[in-house]
Structure formats: structure tokens, C-alpha cells
A and B are shown apart, each in its own frame.
Chain A
Amino acid sequence: MGTDRRAFLKQTGLILVLSGAAAQAWDFVLAGEPEKAPTYKLLDHWWAMAMDIRKCIGCGNCVRACKAENGVLLEPDCFRTWVERYHVHPDDPGHPEVDSPNGGYDGFPEKYKAGDGSKNFFVPKMCNHCAHSPCVQVCPVGATFESPDGVVLVDKTYCLGCRYCVQACPYGCRYIDPRTETVDKCSLCYHRITKGLTTACCEVCPMGARKLGDLKDPKDPIHDFLKDHMIHVLKPEMATGAKAYYNGLDGSVR
């Protein structure tokens, strides 16, 4: 009789303790705190990009690296990032000639003659990971969202493929992946930056024209970048809270 009661109490105690532990573990699971990256604290970061037009040489390394890193299709209309070449006549700055042959994946064959009085430069483009993203605003189900650390991501298992977000993005950086029939876009190499690595495009940029920045890190060089240059974002009139900050962006850039 005595042993039975003791056994019963022990059993109950075990169950209570284990369920307490299980409850705690369940909390972690619910909070999405991944055991996969146990040292990454979501709320300690606010990611942005520093793009320096004056440094971009249009080599296309970033475009190729992004497709390789993220398994993006080589189709001519599936780009998470691309590079544009601008050819601006000084007397007609409102009408630049722009091209992006296969997004810059194969570089830029020379098209123009030196010394014709024009202004020419490259502009790398990507998702601006907007703080007030219009694409997140219009998603009917919450399949695209801004993470607490400032990255606009897609939930591929939840996306309906309605394409409303593609319509709502002012920068044209979203596309439909025909393999999953869901939307796809730059994820700021979330799988890399949460492990302390930089994005694939920044990793291979030979000029440092693209640099990942963490606005919540006081020691991050992006703060000096923003302070020491004349900074512009794309389409500021749309008030998207774009976080891809450009140095040297010409007024003709669209």
C-alpha cells in the first residue's frame, strides 16, 4: 500500500515536472526560436543594405552568386537581384536609356562609345526590404511579412500565388517561381545573415559596392556610410521605408 502510494506520487511528480519542461520547450517552438540558430537573437538586428553607385563596375558577380546561392531559375524573368546600366544624355536627363541584359547575369557587352558627352553608370537593384512595405500590406493571408529583424520574407508553404504583392511592389523585385507556383524574392540571404555570414551578393562584390548593414549595431560601418554620403532611396515619394540606401544615385534612376 505504502509503495503503491509512493510510486503513484513519483509518477505524478514526474508527469508534472516533465510537462512543465515540455511546456517550456513548446514555448520555444511556438516562438519560432530555431534550435537551428540558437545564438541568433531576432530583436537585436535591423538589417539594411548600403549600395554605392560610384563603386559598381557592372561585373554581374552579385547576380550570378544570388542565383547560385538561392537556387533561382536561370529564366530571364526570375531575378532576386539585377544590375541596370544607365546611359544619360546631359541635355535629356528625364529620358535615360536603360538596359539590363539577362539582369546583368552575363555582364554588359559594350554598347556605347566613350566621349559622346553622356553619363553612364551601373545601378544594382534588389528588394529594398521596406519598413512600410506595400507588398506586405496587400498580402491577403500573411504569406509575406516583415520579420522582426527587418527582412521581408515569403512563407512558401502559405502563399496562394495570387500575385497581389507582385502588383504592389513599386520596385519590380518580386516574381512567381514556376516550380512552386508561389511568389519569390530576395530574402536578404536570411539563411546566411542569421549565421553571422554576409549575403551572397555582398560576399562576391569585388568593389564593396554592396554591403550588408545592421542598423541596430552601433559599430556597423553603415552608420558612417549614411552620415558621410548624400544618401537616396529608390522612389522616396512612395514612402515605403526602403532600407536599401544608395550613395551616388542620379536623378534619372528609376
Chain B
Amino acid sequence: MESLLHSVQGYIYPDELQLQWSILIVLYPFITGLVAGAFILASLERVFNVEAVKPTYRLALLTALAFMIVAPLPLQLHLGHPERSFEMYLTPHTTSAMAMFGFVYLWYLMVVLVLEIWLDFRKDIVLMARASTGLKRMLYRAMALGSGNISERSLQIDDKVGKFITIVGIPSAILLHGYVGFIFGSVKANPWWSSALMPVVFIFSAMVSGIALVMLMYQFVSWYRRTAVDMPCLDTIARYLLYAFIIDFSLEMLDLVHRIYEADESFKTLDFMVHTKLYFSQIILQIIAGTLLPIGLLALVQIVKLTEQARRAIYGAAGLLTLVGIFAMRWNVVIGGQLFSKSLLGYTTYKMGLWSREGLLPAIILLILPFVILYILVQLLPPWDKARDAEVPRAQG
């Protein structure tokens, strides 16, 4: 506490000394953003018939599910009374965007993700139930809800319902992440957050991060399985990443230009903060390394004809930089919004613990956990099958 007091600059209201929302609250929108983005990429094939991205369809869904399972964990760790979080289902306050969380989460998890994955994998589940024994067989039979019907007609029905769910899933994904943006954007007390653009920026940066994640996952998984990368698929994903990025960047620039132009009473305070406390995370990590560089790399691929190897290297680099950049964006919004005083006369500091409940290590564990879950999911429900692999033409040099 003493060291915090000494690192206060200017004047802050006494109660503002410690930050209330920690790295865990940075993590939550990052994770749901990945979920929403991965899903939207998957929906490209299902709803918009972008055939090229079909090889990543199942992987994108499973990735979304793995991250979705982890999504509430940072919130639970953060709450003063996680055992009371069920109250959001009992007496949700309809004027609070946060009250939506329980229902939007449950809807998206159960209806959109679980149902869709179930419908898409059902045939394989039934086949795997028939082909296995003992505990595994019981598990697959349970997952098939005890039904063994995989006739043509039933699979057609699955496909139709699945398509409908995907269509419903798109606005659901927008809601899943848009409401998080609204949680921040509707706080009139905080000039760094309060903006009508906030939900839109969140949604597009979510799409960017989700697409980048699937792009990276696909490259990694292909390398791991020693299978050929479907280059038209990867090229298409990278193109969509570029489009989403351009929209996202334009929106963020619009916000910046608007702030600089209007220069209201909060401007000087925020400007100073961006140039000092947020310099590394905002200017270096988010804007230069995390946005301009990946956009440049992805645009390069569209302009100059490059070899497959070069393109894959660029996509890998761009994907990683993108994820870092989007994480930095969440950091800058959440932490940045609490570094300055609402008196607009001073600043405090964020002291992040290491082992504490809301410290760095729990955050890192929560970032690794979805990959562990994804590994388990992939064992249970392999997102690839030899037949589909064979459909993929060998890549041209």
C-alpha cells in the first residue's frame, strides 16, 4: 500500500488508489473474443458457402468450445464472492449489461457451440461408439444420447438444423462479445471507455483475434500431424483476417481522431497517460507491432506473389503479432481506463501480483488451459478424418 501511495502522480480520489479490475478482466474479453472470432470464421463456410475454409471448420468450432469452457474462470477468480455468482441467474438486473453474462454465455455455450458441434460430429460419434469398447463406448453412447440412427435422412436433418443454428450463432457471437464492449462503452463516468464505438471495436477486434488464432492453430496442427496445409484455405483465411483488420484499425483510428479533434476536458489527461504509462502497451505493442506490422505483412502477400513457404512464414508471424496486439488492446482498455483518476487530475499504478488470486501466474495458467482442453477435445472428437483429408488437393509450390 505504501509503495502504491508513493507512485501516485497528481491527485486521485482516495478510493481510487488500487485498481479494481485486474489482468483477469483483461483476459475475459480476450478469451470471449477468440471464441466469437473463431466461430464467425467457421460460419463463413457454413452460411456464406466460402468453400475454401472448410478444412478449418471443425477445428475452429472445437477451438471456440475449448476457450468458451475457460471463459468464466477469470471472472470467478476475480469476484469477491464467486459462490454468489449464481445470483445473476436468480435476480438479473435488467439495466446492467453485466447481468446479461450468465444467459448469453449459457445460450452461446449450449445452444450455439455444443449443439452445433454435436450435430456436425454426430455421425462420427455414433461410428466411434460402435468401434470402441468399455468406458469409451459408454462415453460415446452418452454423447450420442443413446441414439444410433445415422441414416441419410437423419443426417440431412442434422445438416439443416445445424445450418439454422449457425445462422442464429452469428448474431449470438456478436452479442457474446458486443455486450462486453457495451459493459465498458456505457460507463459515462469513464471518458476512456464511454463511447458508442466500443462494442463495435470489440466485435471487430474479436473477429481479428479469432481468425488469427484459427489460422495459427491450423498451421500448427498440420505441422504436428505432418499433413499438407491446404494453401487456398490458408490464403483465404489470411485474406479475411486482412479485411477484418482494416475495418478494426479504421474504427480505432476514428476513435483516436475524434478524441484529438474534440479535445474535451478528458483529452489532456488521457493523452498524457497514453504517452507515458501506456506508451509501451498502446503505441509499441498494440498499434505498431500488433496492428500496423501484421496489416503490412498480410497486405504484402496480396500485392506481391510469394512462395508458399514465404506465405506460411508471414501468416505465422502475422498471426502471433495479431494475438499479442489484440491482447494489448484489451489491456489498454481495461487497465488504461483505471490508471487515471476520475478527477482527471492524477494517476495511479497497477501493481500486478505474481501468485495472488488475480496475479500473473493464474492468468498464464488460464491462457494455457484452453489448449489443454482443446487437446482433450481433439482426442475425443477428431476434427479431421482421412476421407476429408483426401479431398484436399496437394498444395502447389
Contacts and interface: CB of A to CB of B under 8 A. Distances in A.
A, B bound: yes
Interface of A: 75-79, 82, 84, 96-100, 102-103, 125, 134, 137-143, 158-164, 166-176, 180-182, 238, 254
B87 interface: yes
B179 to A, nearest CB: 12
A172 B343 contact: yes
B376 interface: no
Closest 5 CB pairs of A and B: A161-B80, A172-B13, A181-B80, A170-B189, A77-B17
Interface of B: 1, 5, 11-18, 20-21, 78-82, 84-85, 87-88, 90-93, 95-99, 101, 183, 186-190, 337-338, 341-345
A227 B82 CA distance: 48
A127 to B, nearest CB: 11
B268 to A, nearest CB: 9
Main secondary structure of the interface of A (DSSP, over half): loop
B17 A98 contact: no
A76 B88 contact: no
Contacts of A75: 1
Given A139-B93, A161-B80, A174 B15 contact: yes
Contacts of B14: 76-77, 79, 82, 100, 102-103, 172
Nearest to A252: B345
Contacts, number: 127
A160 B343 contact: no
B286 to A, nearest CB: 21
28 contacts: A76-B1, A76-B5, A77-B14, A77-B16, A84-B11, A97-B11, A100-B11, A134-B187, A134-B188, A138-B95, A138-B96, A140-B93, A141-B84, A141-B91, A141-B92, A160-B82, A160-B87, A162-B79, A166-B20, A171-B342, A172-B14, A172-B341, A173-B13, A173-B15, A180-B80, A181-B80, A181-B81, A254-B343
A124 B15 CA distance: 14
A254 B343 CA distance: 5
Contacts of A166: 15, 20
A96 B79 contact: no
Contacts of B85: 160
Nearest to A167: B187
B342 A172 contact: yes
Nearest to A85: B11
Contacts of A163: 20-21, 80
A140 B79 contact: no
Contacts of B338: 167
B17 A76 contact: yes
A166 to B, nearest CB: 5
Contacts of A182: 80-81
Contacts of A159: 80-81, 84
B125 to A, nearest CB: 37
Contacts of A96: 345
A171 B13 contact: yes
A161 B78 CA distance: 8
B20 A137 contact: no
A169 B189 contact: yes
A84 B343 CA distance: 11
Contacts of A99: 11
B342 A176 contact: no
Contacts of A169: 189
B95 to A, nearest CB: 5
A181 B21 CA distance: 14
Contact of A142 (B1, B11, B17, B91): B91
Given A78-B15, A79-B14, A141-B90, 8 more contacts: A79-B15, A99-B11, A141-B91, A142-B93, A164-B96, A164-B183, A172-B13, A172-B15
A203 to B, nearest CB: 22
B345 A176 contact: no
Contacts of A170: 188-189, 342
Contacts of B345: 96, 98, 254
B342 A138 contact: no
Contacts of A142: 91, 93
B76 to A, nearest CB: 10
Nearest to A185: B15
Contact of A77 (B18, B82, B93): B18
Contacts of A161: 79-81
A128 to B, nearest CB: 12
Given A98-B345, A134-B188, A172-B342, A141 B16 contact: no
Contacts of B93: 139-142
Nearest to B188: A238
A80 to B, nearest CB: 9
Contacts of B1: 75-77
Given A137-B95, A141-B91, A98 B342 contact: no
B334 to A, nearest CB: 10
A254 B340 CA distance: 14
A176 B78 CA distance: 13
For B16, B82, B84, the residue with the greatest tally of chain A CB atoms inside 10 Å of its CB is B84
B101 A140 contact: yes
Nearest to B21: A163
Contacts of A173: 13, 15
